[in-house]
């Protein structure tokens, strides 16, 4: 088995996280500024913010289960380490090419 680095996946992942976070930061600022008024803008912002957080978790799971082999374009649904511990690498193994792709991503530490 060959191991190759594929950093394009982690760069794309990072950029998508930044783009997704920007509206959430704006919504948080609206919530912060309208907290004393508790008007309709505040409540709509709260609902959109919470929905955005939930959507973010769902999309994150989907992105990590949607890796395509850079060589043969086969869809790989699971990382190499299925029950990974914090700080384990998130790599993907392609059976067709016999290559483990190193994404540069790692399992985050659990809060607390």
pLDDT in tens, 60-110: 888 888 888 999 999 998 888 878 788 888 899 999 999 999 998 888 876
Res. 45 pLDDT band, cuts 50 70 90: very high
Mean local confidence (pLDDT), 38-60: 92
Query: Residue 111's pLDDT is what?
Result: 61
Residue 111 domain flag: no
Query: Residue 84's pLDDT is what?
Result: 79
> The domain containing residue 43 runs over which residues?
2-106
Residue 54 pLDDT > 90, yes or no? yes
**Residues written for the chain:** 112
Phi, psi of 42 (to 5 degrees): -60, -50
| Whole-prediction pTM | 0.69
| 85 contact partners, CB below 8 Å, separation of at least 6 | 107
Query: Residue 16's pLDDT is what?
Result: 87
Mean local confidence (pLDDT), 19-28: 93
Calculate what percentage of the chain has a pLDDT beyond 70: 97
Residue 94 domain flag: yes
Residue 112 domain flag: no
How many structural domains comprise the chain?
1
Q: Which residues pair with 101 in a beta bridge?
A: 4, 92
Of 72 and 112, more confident: 72
Nearest C-alpha neighbor of 6 from the set 97, 109, 82, 110: 97
């Amino acid at each position: 088995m060959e191991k190759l680095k594929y950093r394009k996946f982690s760069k794309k992942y990072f950029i998508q996280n930044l783009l997704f976070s920007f509206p959430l930061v704006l919504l948080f600022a609206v919530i912060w500024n309208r907290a004393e008024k508790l008007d309709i803008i505040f409540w709509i912002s709260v609902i959109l913010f919470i929905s955005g957080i939930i959507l973010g978790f769902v999309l994150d799971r989907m992105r990590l289960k949607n890796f395509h082999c850079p060589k043969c374009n086969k869809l790989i649904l699971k990382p190499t380490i299925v029950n990974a511990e914090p700080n384990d690498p998130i790599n993907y193994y392609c059976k067709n090419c016999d290559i483990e792709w190193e994404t540069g991503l790692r399992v985050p530490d659990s809060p607390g």
